[in-house]
Amino acid sequence: MRRAVSTVLTEATVIGAISVLFYYILLKLGFKGLVNSFLIGFLLHLSFEYFPKRNLNEWWCKKTF
């Protein structure tokens, strides 16, 4: 099943924006380099999996697939 380009671009934009936000937060906390990159992915995944009141991964998949 192919997904619409607009859907994929929206998803990439949201993930990119949240990644930049996490990057600056972690940078302010003193994390740099590879540790910062790891923590961005780690926190991004946990945020989407355990978002308060709703699993955003599940919601997004149901909405777009």
pLDDT in tens, 14-29: 999 999 999 999 999 9
CA distance 24 to 3: 31
pTM recorded for the entire structure: 0.78
Distance from C-alpha of 43 to C-alpha of 65, rounded to nearest angstrom = 24
Give residue 2's identity as a one-letter amino acid code: R
pLDDT band at 5 (very low <50, low <70, confident <90, very high): very high
